[in-house]
A and B are shown apart, each in its own frame.
Chain A
Amino acid sequence: MAEKIGIYIDKATFDPYLDVDQLVEKIKNRWGDATPVIKVFPLVASDEARKEIQKDLDSGAIDGVSIVGPSPREDTEYFDFGPKVVVDRVNLREQGIMAYKNPDGSLLKPGDETPQLLWDMVMDYINMSVIKLQKSAAPEGEAIESVKRVLVLGGGWTGIHAALAVAEAGYEAVLVEKESELGGYAAKMLKSFPINPPYTQAEDTKIEEKIQAVKNNKKIKVYVGTQLEKLSGQPGQYTAYLKTAKGEEEVEVGAVVVATGWKPIEPKYLEPLGYGSLKNIVTNVEFEEMAKKGEIKRPSDGGVPKNVLFVLGASDLYEDIAKQEEEEKKKKLEEAEAKSEESSEEETIEVKFEPIKTYRHLDYTSEVTSLTALKQAGYVREMIEDSIAYIIYEHMVTPGVYELYYKSAQDDPGIMLTKGKVTSFYAGSNENVVVRIEDNLLGETIEIEADLVVVPTGFVPTTALEPVINLEYRQGPAFPDLDLFDGYADSNYICFPYETRRTGIYAAGPVRQPMTLARSASDAYGAALKAIQCIESVNRGVAVHPRSGDLSYPKFNFVRCTQCKRCTEECPFGALDDDEKGTPKPNIARCRRCGTCMGACPERVISFDNYSVGQIGSMITSIKVPDNMEKEGPRIVILACENDAYPALDMAAKRGRRWSPYVRIIPVRCLGSVNTIWIADAMSKGNDGCLLLGCKYGEDYQCHFMKGSELCNRRMQNIGETLDRLGVELERVRQEQVAIDDYDRIPEIIDSFVEDIIKLGPNPFKGY
């Protein structure tokens, strides 16, 4: 905890609207010995200022630094005085002077007397900074000795590449494959569509060479015919319980790459394509197997097909299934809602795993099925003399460089590419298949009688069918929220493709998204990097993304714990397990430092060295609330998500937007960390309102901690009772969903909230 705080003021921030010498006097009067050093610089982000601050630290004159001036988002790296020094930034440039307007909307003018409201605001923010520093210690981190070994689940193309990537980076890999051999689907292929430039020819996958490389690599230990029964522990220190042919085995690993790939979609989803009812309709997987054996044959009679038709487009045939699934989904949602209304308070921690099955997996595989049809049409042409291959497509999904492969297929006169929708299949003579095609480029319905028809296969991710990672976590064995991604172990974030809700476990290849071999190999490298990065971060005692490098972590004061389980339930990352009594057992290496547990705890059990319920509570209660709201205006506390809402406020100011001078903005790690005690603190001190600015939640949520803003919203709904007891109106607390680019909207949100509060009148608690 800082005791001697140095305050360093940026004159450029205040000139010519506020006299910094007077400011220095005010701070001295308020804080006395607590702030032994107060210095003013023309520009605080200068070498001169930095040197002075360093000198004051070195001499022991101060042990905490408060920089009064630009936003903490500016020159951040410049005010880093090492891990032992606590630094706070008082944002009085962007969110102070630049954003200031008088209650009547008029602006500051050079030469005018500084309005009392501006003085109050400036002092409130500086006071809050001093308190924050007094209640902050430099976090030391809790390093966990990591096992420098990565578990790679799945020994197919992606898993093999991941294991090699890990080993080449100097770490050990444990490669676990369910089947008796490595290679997965790639080993069952005759060839792949292009993997390398110039992307015009199908290629040998050369997977045997890769398998050999794995077997020869001393850093890779291979387990075939093996299942992961259980994964317990935390990043850096996982124990994988393996079930091998010989028995059970335990392996210590630091992180995990999930490369368990895909399964072909269930045959029932191919029924609309005639599969199952006509003998000479096969899937592209079955066709590949035949080609690999060198025997492309008709299932009906073993004859060699001379004309083979590949179906890619038949969307009309899926209308019924689509409708049916839509209805089922709706029904499920309604049931879930009814259920949650019944038991709004009681939530079961453990999420039961439910398989996700949908015809959509077929749609989502369009790129791979398009490329596969082109490749297999090539097989037909190469392996069968005088053959013709038809490809019927609605959209030829060969994006990017694969256009070049599509083009090279067009050069073969024996490959007939026809745009159209297949609308029915029926038996022709000699068990041939007649395919009816509409909406084609010929302008009329056509029928083609084929010796053999090949229909596409959907990639169903293994994570849609079973838990796969089999975690021994209180929140359940699988990745949560998989339904958002139709069962794929994908990231919710476009910018961060490897984000999962289970720290240290990263998915790659078709289990993450349907993808090609080339992309899967690259994906394996990326996931392998994330795995070793997690191992190294844990080893240094720092958080991984998005608070990468953060040394702070939640500390639990169990003496006060009432075993309410809220923290265990609400942690978006499943960081907490518990014992029989329900006492939480934190696993720091699983934690991402969002503070959701801190926000959840009604007993103030959880705190970070530099972020705590007491700290923010004291900051809130230090805000000077005038007794007479009508004369001096209301006071409103804004708790703003530091990742999105807070930067948006900076940008609003930079764009010349201004907002009410009655608000005081406090950044929080995530709205998930907002404890309802803070709202009670604010209200009991006479503040007139509290506005929470957080991210969008729901299906396309934008919260970087997944559930933070959603959980906060739920807590605020539950706070009603407390407020009621206090005699405070519900309308005084509001949460808004904003995005970082809402900079033109947020000032309006603030101003309209302030107006509503003024209309509502003063907080009944004022003056007590």
Chain B
Amino acid sequence: MSKSILVIGGGFSGITAALEAAEVGHEVYLVEKRPFLGGRVMQLNKYFPKLCPPSCGLEIQFQRIKKNPNVKVFTLAEVTSVSGSAGNYEVAVRIKPRYTAPRSCDLSELAAKLAANVKNEFEFGLSSRKPLYLDAPFAYPGRYVLELEHVSEEEKKLLSKSPFINLKDEEKTITLNVGSIIIATGWKPYDVTNLTNLGAGQIANCISNMQMERLASPFGPTNGKIVRPSDGAPPKKVAFVQCAGSRDENHLPYCSYICCMASIKQATYVREQYPDAEVTIFYIDLRTPGRYKKFADKVLADEKIKTIKGKVAKVEEDIATSDVWVTAEDAISGNKITEKYDLVVLATGMQPSLAGESVPFDVQVDEEGFVFDSQDKGIFVAGCAAEPLDVMKSAQSGTAAAMKAIQTVRGR
């Protein structure tokens, strides 16, 4: 029997669940697949509606982790098997090698000597990076990670000379005994290559909303300057295409919750950087639930931000200029619109990370890949693994999941 809690996924929901349980007094294991914690929130430039930086909340969360011995973090770690029942699970966790010295040595000079040959997934392919890296200047753990598969033999020789690199580091598997499990595996952006009518990711100046976050981020590939990927030019005319994949039987049947607010927020990024720029948002419904309406009204009062009710039918590249043609029907006037934009942002939907993945234990997963609480098994779900949510509701849901887990392990 165990009073410990396992949290799978080190994004905002998982971090919150882990900390909230730990601060009640429980031992918590936080297992993250990637080399760093923070998940999708790490990639966001600002939050709506306060337009404050997510790294501010992450800093507090990381401080809470650093100061709480009840939380044990494993990165590059994946749950491979789970056996047992509520109150007594045996969990195998596979931990990949990191190849760097424990703790936060500054390996920036060493990294600078390596070729930048890895497509940067953190930047959604907008840049490439070194195989020895930190995701962000506030990454936690602040410990570099080396991807050996991207290192040449020559570079290996150079690396082997550093006392802070261990090329012999090996994969290992550990076993954890826990009483309850929280699944906080989060979401991934819907794969744009499926959206054939919207360019399928092949049009340089038609980017996804998450790519927009990276372009606007001060530590992103352009240090925060919003420019066209094709030529680095500042965009004067920007269109946002809502429901790119969401609310669509052929793609995601549900609404992804955040995209309307995200586009309204991103419209402020554009307008702040380019006082002359014009923004058009093509939408089906503008979903600005709760007090978000206040923010939406404030932003949309800007005369240079236009909203058009109408689903975009087609996005095409203008070969000569790399501009982007958008075809839509204005549902109110009934007119067909064909307009050229410098930059088009697809408000790409949210898909659960577990969509199409096999889960190594028995929980109820729906067709879309969302997971549900299994009270009798002591397995609970937090954040976007259960349904599309914004950050505040993810944190809320993580806190609730922690409560349920505590109820399971209490008195055992």
Question: Does B155 make an interface contact (CB < 8 A)?
Answer: no
Closest 4 CB pairs of A and B: A495-B57, A526-B399, A525-B400, A651-B137
Query: Which of A45, A169, A655 sits near B104, CB closer than 8 Å?
Result: A45
Are the CB atoms of A170 and B218 closer together than 8 Å? no
Is B1 positioned at the interface, with any CB of A under 8 Å from its CB?
A: no
A81 CB to closest chain B CB (Å) equals: 12
Main secondary structure of the interface of A (DSSP, over half): loop
B33 proximity list for chain A (CB < 8 A):
none
Which of A80, A198, A525 is within 8 Å of B404, CB to CB? A525
Q: What is the bound-complex CA distance between A183 and B228, given in angstroms?
A: 55
Could you tell me if B400 and A740 are in contact, using CB atoms closer than 8 angstroms? no
User: Does B66 reach chain A (CB closer than 8 Å)?
Assistant: yes
Of A367, A400, A528, A643, the residue contacting B387 (CB under 8 A) is A400
In the complex, are the beta carbons of A529 and B396 less than 8 A apart? no
- How far does the alpha carbon of A41 sit from the alpha carbon of B396 in the complex, in Å? 44
The answer to whether A740 and B56 touch across the interface, beta carbons within 8 angstroms, is yes
A524–B399 alpha-carbon span in the complex (Å): 10
Say if the beta carbon of A111 comes within 8 Å of chain B: no
Cβ A740 vs Cβ B67 within 8 A: no
Instruction: Find the A residue at minimum CB distance from B56.
Output: A740
Which residues from 214 to 267 on chain B have a C-beta closer than 8 Å to any C-beta of chain A? 217-219, 223-224, 246-247, 253-257
Determine the chain B residues whose CB is within 8 A of the CB of A46 once the complex forms. 103
A198 contacts across to B, CB distance below 8 A: 366
Contacts of A393 in B (CB 8 A): 285
- Pick from A496, A519, A533: contact of B57, CB under 8 Å: A496
A contact residues around B138 at 8 Å (CB): 647, 651, 740
Q: Does A300 contact B (CB under 8 A)?
A: no
Question: Chain A's nearest CB lies how many Å from the CB of B164?
Answer: 8
Q: Are B287 and A395 in contact (CB under 8 A)?
A: yes
What is the bound-complex CA distance between A439 and B330, given in angstroms?
A: 11
List, sorted by A's number, 26 A–B pairs whose CB atoms are closer than 8 Å. Answer: A12-B106, A43-B164, A80-B69, A165-B407, A169-B403, A364-B294, A366-B293, A397-B285, A399-B287, A400-B388, A401-B255, A443-B332, A492-B50, A493-B57, A496-B395, A497-B392, A515-B290, A526-B397, A529-B406, A533-B20, A537-B23, A548-B19, A549-B68, A739-B56, A740-B53, A742-B218
A363 pairs with B57, CB closer than 8 A: no
Indicate whether B200 reaches chain A with its CB closer than 8 angstroms.
Answer: no
Given contacts A98-B106, A529-B20, A536-B23, 5 further A-B contacts (CB under 8 A): A77-B67, A165-B407, A197-B366, A443-B332, A494-B47
Q: Which residue of A lies closest to B53 (CB)?
A: A741
Q: Are B66 and A76 in contact (CB under 8 A)?
A: yes
Q: Which of chain B's residues have a CB closer than 8 A to the CB of A73? A: 63, 66, 142
Chain A residues contacting B137 (CB-CB under 8 Å) are 650-651, 654-655, 743
Q: Does A146 contact B (CB under 8 A)?
A: no
**CB within 8 A of B255: which of A400, A537, A548, A743?**
A400
By secondary structure, the B interface counts as loop
A493-536 CB mask vs B (1 if < 8 Å, else 0) is 11111100000000000000111000100111110111011001
Q: Residue on B with the closest CB to A699?
A: B50
A75→B399 contact, CB < 8 A: no
Which of A165, A401, A490, A545 is packed against the most chain B CB atoms within 10 Å?
A: A401
Q: For B332, what are the chain A residues with a Cβ–Cβ distance below 8 Å?
A: 419, 439-441, 443
Is B331 at the interface (CB under 8 A from chain A)?
yes
Report whether B407 and A704 are in contact in the complex, using a CB–CB cutoff of 8 Å.
no
Instruction: Say yes or no: A169-B23 contact (C-beta < 8 A), given A363-B293, A700-B51.
Output: no
Looking at the assembled complex, report how far the CB atom of A393 sits from the nearest CB atom of chain B, in whole angstroms.
Answer: 8
Question: What residues on B are CB-neighbors of A523 within 8 Å?
Answer: 396, 400
B406 with A548: CB separation less than 8 A: no
Interface flags, A54-92, vs B, CB<8A=1, else 0: 000000000000000010011111101000000000000
B333 contacts the other chain (CB 8 A): yes
Q: Which residues of A contact B66 (CB under 8 A)?
A: 73, 76-77
